[in-house]
Structure 1
């Protein structure tokens, strides 16, 4: 038996631009994805089986989510309709490529919220595939297409660094991003990814593209490398924010609260609903945590680093 204990990391988006809608109904994106220290503790156990046995999969989970999200995860956990679980879907997609039958057990402590825009189940699936691929005969060049077939964000979680992301999330260019400290706000409501994309009303026509995002400009790369967040604030913006503010005005108030507590970069992550602020230091972040927690008592806050 081989066992891996690790953290299934969440991610934040530093900027998110959606240039157009593709003919297949999906959307092209340009964004910077950064893995963060907040995530789901996860253990993957893989045990070889005799050749005459079938591969098996088991999930053992602890649900640490709150509110409606607790129920949402229960519905697809081993206590609900397990066939809808993204980890099970990843196993089903991979099982025909296994070189020998195996028994797989995943122990998961669920903290990453669904409908949060910070990776959630995609992180779990990506980490699982990363551990499983060495047991398969899948060529290296087919790993990302398989991951993409499970979810648009899953390919990123096969990586180990921040990336400039394009395509629908599968075109990945590793980049260097300065270390940072932040606070993540997890609102008691979610934002549907489908409705957020629909709200953008992007046409099928390919535009000439934003000069900021056509390729990640040299000044932006340099600012990411040194952590010049104030410079990046009005240059790498999340296009979903305008819709999120209309749908949930509390997020606009949260944005102001982060800035007033000393954040130097504030943004929605993905299509939401999680919102975050980056601070100049761990000390200033920890002081700000008390401020925003008191101002928004119904909001869940988590500190993170990257």
Structure 2
């Protein structure tokens, strides 16, 4: 019998500017991250010790999974191994630039903390999340944010509930490879400008991603798909993270659905229409249903 559940939303990077390479190998950056109604589902049932089940063929069910590592980190912080069976139902594509694994880890921390009566503070959860990965702390708050540093210094951002067409052609792109091949000197001259404000009425003025300089050069077919999104009526379009997922931003649901139907005629990869979660939704609940995500 299911004891609890939590939705773990995907995200898109609407803006990503790389500032500098750090001595620890990470990069300082500025990014705007938008959580989506597209989400994995985490189910919890009482168990003997810790166990994890995931039927996705590309996702491990043991210690190599961030969900498992998050549960272990929670147990170490509280002094008690969670007596729980976790079932992860994947709907977010794997290794797609959509933050699925990071979101699953954050959802695990939140779900276990709720289940245990909230023994850990928000600050402690943030600490545990940051140790698991740079994107994980963002998913603790589940609402749009500007990330700085390596992405763990977060400021809330109020954005309209844009609609998104997501395209994933199934390319395998290494995030580490993308960052290794960044030309930071060139980006200082030609990279995404840092806007004075994030104007929600005119996202086309600031949506940008420095990582496109590497990924699109290696995979020109992605550049062609961005052009198709523009022709389909997207208000703005770009790449999420290091790719390969691309997004087109739309102001209304039907415009996004019409674009997805048009794109499906010549695109054989994964296409989904989804909506951005607002700040109010993120603050209200971790269980916003994903009825506003639709595959095409």
Name the TM tier (shorter chain). 0.7 to 0.9
Residues 295/105 of structure 1: CA separation in 2 closer, same or farther (3 Å cut): same
- Show the counterpart of 1:51: none
Give the counterpart of 1:273 among 221, 224, 244. Answer: 244
Per-residue CA deviation, residues 241-297 of structure 1 (Å, 9 max, x unaligned), is 12111111110010010011111110100111100101231111111111111121x
Displacement after TM superposition at 1:96 (Å): 1.8
Per-residue CA deviation, residues 48-78 of structure 1 (Å, 9 max, x unaligned), is xxxxxxx721112232xxxxxx4x32xx23x
TM-score, length-scaled by structure 1: 0.82
Residues 120/102 of structure 1: CA separation in 2 closer, same or farther (3 Å cut): closer
Partners of 2:93 and 2:141 in 1: how far apart?
Answer: 21
- Show the counterpart of 2:202: 228
Displacement after TM superposition at 1:2 (Å): 8.4
Displacement after TM superposition at 1:99 (Å): 5.5
Partners of 1:159 and 1:288 in 2: how far apart?
Answer: 30
- Show the counterpart of 2:137: 155
Q: What is the count of residue pairs matched by the alignment? A: 271
Which structure 1 residue ranges, 4+ long, deviate > 6 Å from structure 2? none
Give the counterpart of 2:65 among 85, 90, 114. Answer: 85
Q: Does 1:286 align with 2:257?
A: yes
Tell whether the 8 Å contact from 1:34 to 1:163 is kept in structure 2 after alignment.
yes
Residues 45/291 of structure 1: CA separation in 2 closer, same or farther (3 Å cut): same
Tell whether the 8 Å contact from 2:75 to 2:82 is kept in structure 1 after alignment.
no
The residue matched to 1:178 in structure 2 has which SS?
A: coil
User: Counterparts in 2 of 1:159-178, with a 5 A limit?
Assistant: 159-178=141-160
User: Counterparts in 2 of 1:59-78, with a 5 A limit?
Assistant: 59-63=52-56, 70=57, 72-73=58-59, 76-77=60-61
The residue matched to 2:83 in structure 1 has which SS?
A: strand
TM-score, length-scaled by structure 2: 0.84
Tell whether the 8 Å contact from 1:39 to 1:111 is kept in structure 2 after alignment.
yes
Q: Does 1:141 align with 2:123?
A: yes
